[in-house]
């Protein structure tokens, strides 16, 4: 092929059906000949193929213009002529007189041969794709040149659904220069690669597979996109791409994408032949991108929704700062509103916008602090008087004079300015009926104190059961109410109001009722209020008014005070009673009584015709002290038991049923007791239940108890002296007791022997006791057991001297055996060596601790023998109080001495000792 160089001197080109057709004039610089040729696909390819360097026009035309022809030229999917011209400018290094040419100084026009809806790949890299771009100096149109050659297509900045090898759709962002340096943005939909006629994904037939949405402003309502396309898995790729086609965008816009398979929701970014694939989808499959000059960029923050706020022309910047957070809907905790970067204009009425900066640090931002500016809408209006009312919830029966209209008012504004209560007055236009449960319409008029502006707004008052007790036909709110009494809270004390509940029975109430209020105890003296049902007739409405207002039931009857005329305190106790006296056919009346708990009617005391409630700040506190049972197993106590001790046992007279949970809330005491005599006794037990308000409340039960009989056994001497504490035995009523005195007893070391018994009123010093056991006791009685001291009955025979000597041969000491005898027939006697006293002699007596001498010395070791057995080893002057033997009555034994002498037998020694004995009597 011959290499030639041409200079384009005229270009008049059009694009027809993808084929570039026209005429060009060519100057052959080698032969200086001018050639005219028809530009066809083939000729264009041939010409461009031979041209590698652009040569510029004659110097006589003025300044020179040059371009480095990109080889190849890279454009993105969906590009049009304008995108080619931008690419030539970016990649061609266009210069005028050697200086880079500003965009505004150039006019570029392009002709394209080939497609742009699929990327250049190995599969289609040999596909014919050519471009021709003329470049003209805008300041001197006679200066021009051209760039032409092969172009290739990459992803540019594309949101791609699928993978690099299998794209279900590519949505490419184009930013196009304008003369004013402002960019036009456009998002095109193209094939990307692969077959346009295939379905998107066979795994999602009939199901949504992906969606793409464009929002013109960050912060728009996410449910209202400017443009949206949703594709199902069995849709054809070409059909989906046609739905999007070509969408104009702005730099404030945001694109939201979603894919059923999050890993196929990707952002492809190409630079020449290199493409980077990244996935920014969250776990639900969503990704958010903002529009930038450099392509799609991940939003990188939590997308927020803005909402329009209403302001006035007098709204201040400070007021705007206070309301800035309200410009966003459902603001996450991780987002902080920093403030306005541009306040909205308030110079005229109508729509306006401001700009607000927010900061976020979260997992979405990669735990980095990212700031974003949102454009937020406002509506500037005149200054109306605005009133925000709330629905007020109050308990049924509330006195209307206690209603505070200001409880209904949330906010009063004049334009953007919030008024204080001192700047307006509020009054009820319609006051709610507080005597019936339900919703009541309530109108309130608000007037400014200056400016004479006023407005009437309507809200509701919701009447609830609150703290109410009462009765109805079936004990529920499904049947008309017979009695409904609510407790409400006044300035300091509670007050009671009989009301309609949710609708009173229009006729007579179906049973007799009584309403009591007590303070401290349910006695006549402690009653502070009482009212029966109205009579005659007993209509529910008449009873309601009678209980509220008081009065007489008929001419001449007693006067009842009414709730309105009675002062109640917290801690007072209500007793609500139903009786069968007039209507025995009504069935179990206790099943008709109820109390409200959490706005439900609850039967709290089935089976009881009277229910008790404490009036507390928290409502009616149910009491159960009338629901206890008397224990059929009578309590027994000892004769003479003190009342204080009886009170400790008083709880044994009662049974607390299982349905009563807080059993520790009760205490018990006897009203009176009699334990001076034995037998079955009757009395009353005071039952106290602890009150929430402090203190307790008392009622009484009739009970019986038993005082047992008592046998007293006294222990005395022959002179009547007390030997030890009497034994008192309590015997169950009707049972017998047999006394069995001890035959002997030891007191303070002395033994006493039983002599017989005497009745409690006898004198032991004068009356002779009767031997043996006392008779069986069948009732309370006293016996005296008479004892004689055993020491007075000792009778002993003992030796008056005890002689001993030493054997000359072996130096052994010995004596004969001397007899000791107990002559008593009643007591045993212990023989005790009290002391051993030296009178004469100089022989040392060895102790048990002394060793036997090895040399002759005047020393001896003596032992006391009893019945030929050693009882005292090493007898010395230090030996005292050593027991020798206890002899039973009439018993005899012997004593003697043995031992060893360690001195010289050549010398005679005489010693004398005094041995003292004492005797101790014991039981035989």
pLDDT for 103 equals: 85
Contact present, 431 and 400 (Cβ < 8 Å): yes
Structure tokens at 410: 């949330």
Q: pLDDT at position 163, please? A: 83
In this predicted structure, the answer to whether residue 11 has a pLDDT above a threshold of 60 is: no
Task: For the beta carbon of residue 329, count every other beta carbon within 10 angstroms.
Answer: 12
Percentage with pLDDT > 90 across the chain? 60
Nearest CA-CA partner of 590 in 610, 614, 575, 612: 610
Q: Is the pLDDT of residue 32 over 50?
A: no
Burial 760-796 (b: 16+ CB within 10 A, else e): eebebeeeebeeeebeebeebbbbbbbbbbbeebbee
Q: Compute the mean pLDDT over every residue in the chain, rounded to the nearest whole number.
A: 86
pLDDT score recorded for residue 430:
93
Average the pLDDT over 241-262 and give the result: 92
Query: In whole angstroms, what is the distance from residue 546 CA to residue 110 CA?
Result: 101
The arithmetic mean of pLDDT across residues 380-407, rounded, is: 92
List the 880-887 sheet strands across, edge first. 880-887, 827-840, 912-923
Q: Which of 185-194, 433-442, 514-523 has the lowest mean pLDDT?
A: 185-194
Position 817 scores a pLDDT of 93
The tokens describing 135, both together, are: 């470049």
Cα within 13 Å of Cα(810), Cβ side: 5
Contacts by residues 582-585 (CB-CB < 8 Å, ≥ 24 positions apart): 582/511, 582/512, 583/510, 583/511, 583/512
Q: Which of 165-179, 535-549, 867-881 has the highest mean pLDDT?
A: 867-881
pLDDT, position 400: 92
What confidence category does residue 589 fall into, taking pLDDT thresholds of 50, 70 and 90?
A: low
Cis omega before residue 437 (within 30°)? no
Average pLDDT over residues 843-856: 91
Our measurement of the distance from residue 703's CA atom to the centroid of its chain's CA atoms, rounded to an integer in Å, reads 47
CA-CA distance, 533 to 574, in Å (whole number)? 16
Rounded Cα distance between 266 and 273, Å, is 18
Res 472: pLDDT: 85
| Interval 142-184: pLDDT, tens | 888 999 999 999 999 999 999 878 899 999 999 988 766 678 9
| Residue 237's pLDDT band (cuts 50, 70, 90) | very high
pLDDT by residue (tens digit) across 345-378? 999 989 999 999 999 888 777 788 888 888 899 9
Where are the extended beta strands (E) located within 95-165?
95-96, 99-100, 106-113, 130-137, 140-154, 157-163
Closest of 754, 747, 821 to residue 784, by C-alpha: 754
Copy the structure tokens of residue 819: 């007899």
First to last CA, the chain: 157
Q: What is the CB neighbour count within 10 angstroms for residue 335? A: 19
- Please tell me the least confidently modeled range out of 82-86, 382-386, 624-628: 382-386
How confident is the model at residue 488, as a pLDDT? Answer: 96
The string of pLDDT tens digits covering residues 550-572 is 988 776 678 999 999 999 999 99
Pairwise CA distance, residues 730 & 638, whole Å: 6
Q: Return the closest-CA partner of residue 494 out of 436, 577, 574, 600.
A: 574
pLDDT computed for residue 626 by the predictor: 94
Mean pLDDT of 255-271: 94
Task: Flag whether pLDDT at 195 surpasses 90.
Answer: no
DSSP SS3 for 479: coil
d(CA 529, CA 560): 8
In what helix (H) or strand (E) does residue 635 lie, and over which residues does it extend? strand 635-637
Structural tokens at position 821: 């005898």
Whether the bond into 595 is cis, omega within 30 of 0: no
* 52 to 3, 24, 148, 413, 452: CA distances (angstroms): 9, 18, 9, 76, 87
Cα 271 to Cα 45: distance, rounded to the nearest angstrom? 26
The stretch 98-111 carries a mean pLDDT of 88
Query: What is the C-alpha separation between 872 and 912, in angstroms, rounded?
Result: 19
- Percent of the chain past pLDDT 70, that is, above it, reads 91
Q: How many angstroms separate the CA atoms of 24 and 10, rounded?
A: 6
Q: How far is CA 105 from CA 102, 109, 623, in A?
A: 5, 14, 98
pLDDT at 55: 36
pLDDT at residue 143, as a whole number: 86
Angle at 126 between CA 125 and CA 127, to 5 degrees: 90
Per-residue pLDDT at 366: 73
Alpha-carbon radius of gyration of the chain:
61
- pLDDT-derived band at 629 (thresholds 50, 70, 90) equals very high
Residue-level pLDDT at 682: 95
Q: Identify the pLDDT of residue 181.
A: 64
pLDDT, average across residues 742-757: 89
Residue that wins the pLDDT comparison between 208 and 505: 208
Instruction: Decide: 678 and 710 in contact? Cβ < 8 Å.
Output: yes
Question: Distance between CA atoms of 144 and 25, rounded to whole angstroms?
Answer: 14
Model pLDDT for residues 415-471, shown as the tens digit of each residue: 768 999 999 999 999 999 999 999 999 999 999 988 678 899 999 999 999 999 998
Q: What is the pLDDT of residue 804?
A: 87
Residue 126 has pLDDT above 80, yes or no: no
Q: What are phi and psi of 95, to 5 degrees?
A: -130, 150
Structure tokens that stand for 405 in this block: 């209209």
Give 755-811 pLDDT, tens digit per residue: 999 999 999 999 999 999 999 998 889 999 999 988 888 899 999 888 888 888 888
Q: What is the mean pLDDT of residues 595-605?
A: 91
């Amino acid at each position: 092929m011959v290499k030639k160089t041409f200079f384009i001197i005229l270009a008049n080109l059009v694009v027809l059906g993808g084929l570039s057709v026209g005429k060009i004039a060519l100057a052959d610089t080698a032969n200086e000949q001018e050639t005219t040729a028809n530009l066809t696909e083939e000729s264009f390819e041939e010409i461009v193929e031979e041209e590698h360097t652009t040569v510029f026009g004659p110097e006589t035309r003025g300044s020179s213009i040059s371009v480095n022809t990109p080889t190849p030229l890279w454009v993105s999917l969906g590009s049009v002529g304008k995108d080619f011209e931008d690419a030539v400018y970016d990649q061609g290094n266009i210069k005028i007189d050697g200086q880079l040419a500003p965009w505004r100084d150039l006019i570029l026009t392009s002709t394209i041969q080939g497609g742009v809806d699929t990327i250049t790949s190995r599969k289609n890299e040999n596909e014919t794709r050519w471009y021709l771009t003329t470049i003209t100096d805008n300041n001197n149109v006679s200066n021009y040149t051209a760039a032409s050659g092969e172009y290739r297509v990459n992803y540019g900045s594309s949101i791609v659904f699928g993978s690099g090898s299998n794209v279900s759709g590519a949505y490419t962002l184009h930013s196009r220069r304008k003369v004013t340096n402002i960019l036009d943005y456009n998002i095109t939909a193209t094939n990307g690669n692969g077959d346009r006629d295939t379905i998107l994904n066979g795994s999602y037939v009939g199901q949504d597979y992906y969606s793409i949405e464009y929002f013109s402003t960050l912060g728009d309502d996410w449910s209202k996109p400017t443009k949206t396309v949703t594709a199902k898995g069995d849709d054809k790729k070409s059909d989906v791409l046609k739905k999007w086609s070509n969408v104009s965008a702005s730099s404030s816009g945001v694109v939201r994408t979603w894919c059923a398979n999050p890993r196929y929701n990707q952002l492809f970014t190409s630079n020449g032949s290199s493409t980077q694939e990244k996935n920014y989808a969250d776990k639900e499959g969503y990704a958010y991108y903002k529009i930038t000059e450099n392509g799609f960029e991940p939003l990188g923050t939590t997308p927020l929704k803005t909402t329009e706020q209403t302001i006035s022309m007098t709204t201040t910047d400070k007021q705007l700062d206070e309301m800035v957070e309200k410009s966003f809907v459902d603001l996450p905790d991780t987002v902080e509103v920093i403030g306005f970067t541009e306040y909205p204009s308030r110079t005229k009425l109508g729509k306006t916008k401001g700009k607000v900066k927010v900061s976020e640090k979260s997992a979405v931002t990669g735990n980095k602090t990212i700031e974003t500016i949102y454009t937020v809408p406002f509506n500037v209006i005149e200054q109306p008087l605005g009133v925000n009312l709330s629905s007020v919830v109050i308990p049924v029966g509330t006195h209307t004079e206690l209603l505070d209209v200001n409880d209904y008012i949330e906010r009063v504004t004049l334009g953007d300015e919030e008024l204080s209560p001192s700047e307006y007055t509020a009054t009820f236009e319609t006051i709610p009926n507080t005597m019936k449960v339900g919703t009541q319409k309530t109108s309130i008029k608000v007037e400014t104190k200056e400016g004479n502006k006023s407005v009437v707004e309507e809200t509701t008052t919701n009447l609830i059961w609150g703290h109410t007790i009462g009765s109805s036909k079936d004990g529920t709110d499904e049947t008309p109410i017979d009695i409904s009494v609510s407790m409400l809270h006044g300035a300091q004390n509670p007050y009671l109001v009989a009301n309609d509940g949710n609708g009173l029975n229009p006729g007579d109430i179906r049973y007799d009722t009584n309403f009591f209020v007590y303070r401290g105890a349910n006695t006549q003296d402690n009653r502070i209020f009482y009212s029966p049902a109205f009579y005659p007739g007993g209509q529910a409405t008449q009873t309601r008014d009678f209980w509220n207002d008081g009065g007489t039931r008929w001419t001449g009857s007693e006067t009842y005070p009414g709730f309105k005329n009675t002062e109640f305190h917290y801690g007072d106790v209500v007793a609500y009673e139903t009786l069968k006296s007039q209507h025995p056919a009504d069935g179990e009346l206790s099943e008709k009584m109820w109390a409200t708990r959490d706005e439900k009617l609850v039967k709290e005391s089935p089976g009881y015709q009277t229910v008790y409630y404490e009036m507390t700040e928290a409502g009616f506190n149910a009491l159960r002290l009338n629901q206890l049972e008397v224990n059929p197993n009578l309590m027994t106590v000892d004769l003479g038991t003190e009342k204080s001790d009886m009170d400790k046992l008083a709880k044994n007279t009662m049974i607390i049923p299982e349905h009563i949970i807080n059993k520790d809330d009760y205490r018990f005491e006897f009203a009176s007791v009699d334990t001076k005599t034995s037998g079955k006794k009757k009395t009353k037990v005071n039952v106290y239940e602890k009150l929430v308000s402090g203190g307790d409340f008392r009622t009484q039960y009739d009970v019986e108890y038993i005082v047992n009989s008592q046998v007293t056994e006294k222990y005395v001497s022959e002179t009547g002296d007390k030997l030890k504490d009497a034994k008192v035995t309590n015997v169950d009523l009707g049972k017998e007791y047999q006394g069995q005195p001890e035959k002997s007893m030891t007191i303070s070391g002395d033994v006493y022997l039983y002599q017989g018994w005497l009745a409690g009123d006898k004198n032991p010093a004068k009356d002779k006791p009767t031997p043996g056991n006392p008779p069986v006791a069948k009732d309370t009685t006293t016996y005296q057991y008479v004892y004689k001291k055993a020491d007075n009955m000792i009778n002993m025979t003992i030796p008056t001297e005890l002689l001993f000597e030493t054997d000359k041969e072996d130096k052994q000491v010995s004596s004969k055996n001397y007899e000791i005898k107990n002559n008593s027939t009643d007591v045993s006697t212990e023989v005790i060596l009290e002391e051993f006293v030296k009178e004469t002699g100089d022989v040392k007596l060895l102790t048990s601790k002394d060793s036997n001498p090895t040399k002759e010395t005047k020393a001896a070791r003596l032992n006391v023998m009893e019945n030929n057995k050693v009882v005292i080893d090493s007898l010395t002057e230090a030996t005292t109080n050593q027991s020798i033997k206890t002899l039973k009555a009439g018993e005899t034994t012997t004593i003697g001495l043995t031992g060893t002498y360690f001195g010289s037998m050549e010398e005679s020694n005489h010693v004398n000792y005094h041995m003292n004995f004492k005797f101790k009597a014991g039981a035989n």
